[in-house]
Amino acid sequence: MIYWRVEGRTVAITEHKREWKVFVENREAVIEALKRGECVGILPAARGFLDGFAEFLLEMGMLDTFESFPDQRKRRSIPIFFFCNSLLYRPLFHLDRVTPIETTLFRSPYILRQMGFNALQIEEGFYQTPEGQCPFTAEAILECFAKSTAEDFLQHQKQVLKRLVDYCPAQFRADVWVMDSVHFQIPNGAHTDPSSFKACVLGVWQGSVVWPMLWAFVPESRNETVVGKKVMAAAEEVLGEGFIRHLLIDRGYLDGRWLTELHQKGTRVTMGVKEDMLILEEMHNLTRMPESEWTEVEPPKLHEGPRPQRAITGFTDLQQEWKSCDAPLSGCLIRDVYPDEVVYQGLVTTAPVAMAEDILHHNGLRWTLEEVFMTLTRYWQFDKLPPCRPGVAYALVHFALNAFTLLGFYLQESDIANDVDTWNMAPPPLPMPERELAVYAGDYLALLRPSELVTIILNHVDAWQANRDKLLLALRICEGGS
């Protein structure tokens, strides 16, 4: 039996039937069992945001996606659900490598409880075998995902995206989505060669953050347009054509035929154009017309050097200047005047009419995803990969991206962070235990203070003498011993 612990109830799932059952918190039933000297487990019972987070994952059906993750292992004695769940929680406990998972997550009953595992699951053997071994180890994680392919993670994320859209529809009211790539390096190891890859990430924009929703892992040399089409096609499989109303991409994804296809499906695209493109030359030529007007706007914030004087001007009906694109095009030409040079940039959007200010604004939103990548690198350390096989590296990045998005959605759905200035943030502080204990008896659990538990035991000492070994085992689970 596999057990999932959330605040106030425990959920169990049979290994074969995969049916979730709820165990309700029942103080009276547990106390009566304690009077008879019956107890199967005791754990520290801190209540905090992770309890609600675990329940959020359960209610939205995220556990089902973990169970259905493509499993490439020959031996499946430990359900893949446990490994997926552990890697999801890894960044939330500020662990930047795989090895500390074994000593930090797997050896602390308090943390196991925060992750959703309870005393009953531990006693049933997934935490410790009758021979005293702990099969649920860091090495087991490496073996679990060693043969996983990039396609496995894309297929799994499509399931996650479907759950998110069904459970949190309000989070998808924004019409703007962003696509960009982030690169990773796998260092040289004793048994593995150094390698690199990139993830093409598609996310939904929401004010100060872009929530990563779907991604594909590909070789670093893979053409951006090729992988961009793959990710967008996967999104359309889940969401339907036209669900993404406005897509922001950079010039690396330029493909006139693809932009035409997206326009025909109901997706508007805004992007920059390359310096050698005819459409940029034509926008330059149109500025020589008598009716051409420049509008001064806020200059970009630069880390080095003086800020330029920036002005923009707009155009419509540019589709004739891009032979491979049959979608309507509006454009924005940016002019940055520096003390020693003038620099021009061109932006276009697949809309028949769009103001230059709006095109510039939307293009600026694309950088929000870059800022999310910076946050994930600096505070979530999702790029600090150990020497490992590609499948393990994909797994570490995959579940870190999911942890960032799922935690953010939970905080918004639960109104826990009403005063948050930005959702683009580091993992929350580690939760600390409180005074209560989670006491398990039969099919029930109850939260008791240590003094309450000891009082019941002393008042019914004869019953507990007969079950002395079970009590000691329960207390050792609480201590983290075997």
Distance, CA of 135 to CA of 76 (rounded, Å): 12
What's the confidence (pLDDT) of residue 24?
57
The answer on 318 and 433 residing in a single domain is no
**Is residue 188 in a domain?**
no
Residues 346 and 439 reside in one and the same domain: no
Report the DSSP beta bridge partners of residue 202. 179, 214
Does residue 168 belong to any structural domain of this protein? no
pLDDT confidence of residue 365: 94
Same structural domain, 15 and 140: yes
Residue 207: its pLDDT value, please? 84
pLDDT beyond 50 at 142? yes
- 470 and 344 within one domain: no
Tell me the average pLDDT across 4-33.
56
Q: CA-CA distances (angstroms) from residue 374 to 317, 379, 384? A: 37, 8, 13
Instruction: Decide which of 355, 370, 394 is a domain's last residue.
Output: 355
Same-domain check for residues 323 and 433: no
Q: Of the residues 355, 383, 418, which one is the last residue of a structural domain?
A: 355
Residues 434 and 303 in one domain: no
Does the residue 246 lie in any domain? no
Any domain includes 431: yes
Q: What is the count of structural domains for the chain?
A: 2
Residues 450 and 351 in one domain: no
CA torsion sign for 104, 105, 106, 112 is positive
Residues 130 and 31 in one domain: yes
**Cβ–Cβ < 8 Å for 53, 136:** no
With contact defined as beta carbons under 8 Å apart, do 279 and 316 qualify?
no
| Residue with the two structure tokens 């103001």 | 355
Encode pLDDT of 88-137 as tens digits. Answer: 988 887 777 777 666 666 545 555 555 555 544 444 444 444 454 555 67
Q: What is the pLDDT of residues 177-201, one digit of tens each?
A: 999 999 999 999 888 889 999 999 9
Residue 470 belongs to domain spanning: 2-144+426-479
* Percent of the chain scoring above 90 in pLDDT: 48
**Does residue 48 fall inside a structural domain?**
yes
What percentage of the chain has pLDDT greater than the value 70? 80
Tally Cβ neighbours within 10 Å of residue 431: 17
Confidence of residue 215 (pLDDT cuts 50, 70, 90): very high
Report the mean per-residue pLDDT for the chain. Answer: 83
Give the mean pLDDT of 303-325.
89
* 99-103, 204-208, 229-233, 363-367: least confidently modelled range: 99-103
Residue 212 lies in a domain: no
φ/ψ bin of 375: left (φ > 0), alpha (ψ from -120 to 50), beta (otherwise): alpha
Cα 110 from chain centroid?
Answer: 24
**138 and 6 part of one domain:** yes
User: Quick one: 308 and 435 in the same domain?
Assistant: no
Could you say which of 355, 372, 398 is where a domain stops?
Answer: 355
Mean pLDDT score, 452-458: 89
Rounded to an integer, what distance in angstroms lies between the CA atom of residue 96 and that of residue 111? Answer: 16
Task: Note whether 304 and 393 are within 8 A (CB).
Answer: no
**pLDDT band at residue 418 under the 50/70/90 scheme:** low
pLDDT band at residue 11 using 50, 70 and 90 as cut-offs: very low
**140 lies in a domain?**
yes
Does residue 401 belong to any structural domain of this protein?
Answer: no
- Model confidence at 482, pLDDT cuts 50, 70, 90, reads very low
User: Is the pLDDT score of 326 beyond 70?
Assistant: yes
**For position 240, what pLDDT does the model report?**
95
Task: Place 223 in a pLDDT band, splitting at 50, 70 and 90.
Answer: very high
Question: Could you tell me the two tokens for 414?
Answer: 């639960």
Question: Do 341 and 439 fall within a single domain?
Answer: no
pLDDT higher than 90, residue 239: yes
Higher-scoring residue by pLDDT: 211, 125: 211
pLDDT digits (tens, 9 = 90+) for 22-70: 445 788 999 999 999 888 777 766 556 676 788 788 888 888 899 899 9
Q: Report pLDDT for 430.
A: 62
> Are 458 and 324 found together in one domain?
no
